[in-house]
Amino acid sequence: MSNETSATTTRRGQAPRGERIADWADGRLGIYSLAKSNMRKIFPDHWSFMLGEVALYSFIIIILTGVYLTLFFHPSMAEVTYHGSYVPMQGIRMTQAFESTLDISFDVRGGLLIRQIHHWAALVFLAAMMVHMMRVFFTGAFRKPREVNWLFGFLLLVLGMFTGFTGYSLPDDLLSGTGVRFIEGVILAMPLVGSYLQMFIFGGEFPGHDIIPRFFTVHVLLLPGIMLGLLVAHLILVFYHKHTQFPGAGKTNTNVVGMPLLPVYMAKAGGFFFLVFGVISVIAAVASINPVWAIGPYRPDQVSTGAQPDWYMGFAEGLVRVMPGWEWNFLGHTINFGVLIPILLFPLVLVAIAVYPFVESWVRGDKREHHILDRPRNVPTRTGFGVAWLIAYFVMLIGGGNDLWATHFHLSINSITWFVRIAFFVGPVLGFIATKRICLGLQRRDKDKVLHGRESGIIKRLPHGEFIEVHEPLDQEQLHFLTQHEQPEPLELGPEVDENGVRRKIKRSQKLRAKLSKSYYGEDNVIPKPTVEEYKEITSGHGHH
């Protein structure tokens, strides 16, 4: 149909072209019903809500650049002699995987940039997921109805770690090869099946000729495929649940306040993708990452000091580094606890935070939906647990880089290792106690502010000579903000004997639950928020002291 006729038909009262295309699609895909609930969907604005977007966009960047890299990368362990343009490698024997990585870096125009964007985006992806998860944790955004989405996010983080690790291994350079050798040691340490698994995974003795092609399939197909599925599910649930929001004037548990998807959020979120891509491109322009040409090709008899994995595996590396060398021999069998225990602790520590939402809802016995975020100070036990977890995590990150901390701060590597061994157990406890105290202090300050107003910094001299600081009363918005949170009562077990004097049977799990509940909401763990009566009594008096 030509433009002229369409123009005339429009004049005759038919719909414009865009609308007719939409009609066509609606008749087949039902897009109007879909758009009805989504086009003007409301999203609250807060910078911390965009951490997840950073992760999402870096994932897209990784896929785009990753596809480009596959056009040039040869995932093969066949040995060749290098004759490319990087002089300090000419004549060196290496695998095709390493050779093609050098080619991407030195002989494909822009290849180095794409490689660096890919790797930087991967580091940012994992970092953003981690910080996003912490935001969700500390604000209680994981509560009903979002527990499943929390698990999806957790799985994305774990899969992201392994996708990152396999990708880091692909160039077959000396650093990543050392990492693969570590994996071999871990597999061998598995009781009973270790040596069989090692032979099957590596296709024979280490390093063999199969591991890089196999990692390649896992890295570009298997893991990203699963992640893409989880990611879509994660996003659908975000849409379906509607986003949480921070407390404030006009924000309730039954509404969501913000800007509509079309146009504001679409422009902001769409624009943010370009911003993320732009920032990562600039970083790839100015900062080198994984310069494999300086590291050299992998050979099992070579190694460099400072052999570390990428940061997201640093936590596991730390666990392995600080583990004492325990090994058992019995009945002709060997169990290598020096490897086995850290490798079991690694998922356990991660799972500890993954199952937290279910623990908390059990302790609280709360089955309602929550859409208003908690201020971390108002849930001291949860905040304390989160800080304790982070301390354990970061102590192990220090352990993972113990050799670099040693050289850069002129310390003994052995002392750092001992510090980490102790701090892994002591640090979280101290962190938990300190955080809880700080939270309660902040609650007290909030209460003070509500009852006595804000310290204005103005000193006034009263007629009888006394100096006082003028406290300005808060407006209603602030009063509401500081008092809107719930303060549940702890669970009670009830009397031990019932009305007939018969001992009630109380399950151990019930006792534990009551105890935990007390540690969450008991007297010592919460500062009662000001009541209206208290407020009125103080404000009706005179002088805001």
Q: What is the rounded distance in angstroms from the CA atom of residue 526 to the CA atom of residue 364?
A: 14
Q: How far is the CB of 102 from another protein (least distance, A)?
A: 11
Place of tokens 């009706």: 540
Q: Mask: binding to another protein, 230-269, rule CB under 8 A, as x and -?
A: ----------xxx------xxxxxxxxxxxx--xx--xx-
Q: How far is the CB of 237 from another protein (least distance, A)?
A: 10
Verify binding: residue 213, another protein, rule CB under 8 A: no
Q: What is the rounded distance in angstroms from the CA atom of residue 295 to the CA atom of residue 115?
A: 16
Q: How far is the CB of 307 from another protein (least distance, A)?
A: 5
Q: Which residue in 30, 225, 347, 365 binds another protein (CB under 8 A)?
A: 365
**Under rule CB under 8 A, how many of the chain's residues touch another protein?**
186
Nearer to another protein, 6 or 48 (CB): 48
Verify binding: residue 423, another protein, rule CB under 8 A: no
Q: Which of residues 3-32 bind another protein (CB under 8 A)?
A: none
Q: Mask: binding to another protein, 263-302, rule CB under 8 A, as x and -?
A: xx--xx-xxxxxxxxxxxxxxxxxxxxxx-xxxx-xxxxx
Q: Which of residues 147-186 bind another protein (CB under 8 A)?
A: 174-175, 178, 181-182, 184-186
Burial 372-386 (b: 16+ CB within 10 A, else e): bbbbbbbbbbbbbbb
Verify binding: residue 518, another protein, rule CB under 8 A: no
Return the DSSP state at 510.
Answer: H
Q: Which residue in 14, 33, 70, 195 binds another protein (CB under 8 A)?
A: 195
Q: How far is the CB of 121 from another protein (least distance, A)?
A: 9
Q: What is the rounded distance in angstroms from the CA atom of residue 331 to the CA atom of residue 195?
A: 17
Q: How far is the CB of 440 from another protein (least distance, A)?
A: 19
Q: How far is the CB of 515 from another protein (least distance, A)?
A: 15
Q: Which residue in 33, 38, 217, 412 binds another protein (CB under 8 A)?
A: 412
Q: Which of residues 427-446 bind another protein (CB under 8 A)?
A: none
Q: What is the rounded distance in angstroms from the CA atom of residue 8 to the CA atom of residue 19?
A: 16
367's CB contacts (< 8 A; 6+ apart) are 144, 361
The string of DSSP codes covering 55-109 is HHHHHHHHHHHHHHHHTT------EEE--SS-GGGTT-EEEHHHHHHHHHHHTST
Q: Which of residues 380-409 bind another protein (CB under 8 A)?
A: 400-404, 406-407
Verify binding: residue 536, another protein, rule CB under 8 A: yes
> Dihedral, CA atoms, 256, 257, 260, 264, nearest 10 degrees?
-140
Verify binding: residue 120, another protein, rule CB under 8 A: yes
Nearer to another protein, 151 or 434 (CB): 151
Q: Which of residues 81-100 bind another protein (CB under 8 A)?
A: 85, 87-93
Return the DSSP state at 2.
Answer: -
Please answer whether residues 485 and 532 qualify as being in contact, where contact means their C-beta atoms are separated by less than 8 angstroms.
Answer: no
List the Cα angle 487/489/491 in 5-degree steps. Answer: 145
- List Cα–Cα distances, 8 to 22, 23, 24, in angstroms: 20, 19, 20
Return the range that interacts with another protein (CB under 8 A); candidates 5-13, 317-325, 463-471, 499-507: 317-325
Verify binding: residue 528, another protein, rule CB under 8 A: no
Return the range that interacts with another protein (CB under 8 A); candidates 62-70, 152-160, 228-236, 305-313: 305-313
Return the range that interacts with another protein (CB under 8 A); candidates 67-75, 107-115, 222-230, 431-439: 107-115
Nearer to another protein, 12 or 367 (CB): 367
Q: What is the rounded distance in angstroms from the CA atom of residue 438 to the CA atom of residue 379?
A: 11
Verify binding: residue 41, another protein, rule CB under 8 A: yes
Q: Which of residues 468-507 bind another protein (CB under 8 A)?
A: 476-477, 479-480, 483-484, 486-492, 494
Beta bridge partners of 245: 372
* Token output for 299: 């050979």
Q: Which of residues 47-86 bind another protein (CB under 8 A)?
A: 47-51, 53-54, 79, 85
Burial 318-353 (b: 16+ CB within 10 A, else e): bbbbbbeeeeeeeeeeebbeebbbbbebbeebbeeb
Q: What is the rounded distance in angstroms from the CA atom of residue 474 to the CA atom of residue 502?
A: 54
Q: Which residue in 140, 309, 386, 427 binds another protein (CB under 8 A)?
A: 309
Verify binding: residue 410, another protein, rule CB under 8 A: yes
Nearer to another protein, 454 or 480 (CB): 480
Q: How far is the CB of 418 from another protein (least distance, A)?
A: 10
Instruction: Determine how many CB atoms are found less than 10 A away from the CB of residue 237.
Output: 16
54's CB contacts (< 8 A; 6+ apart) are 124, 128, 132, 276
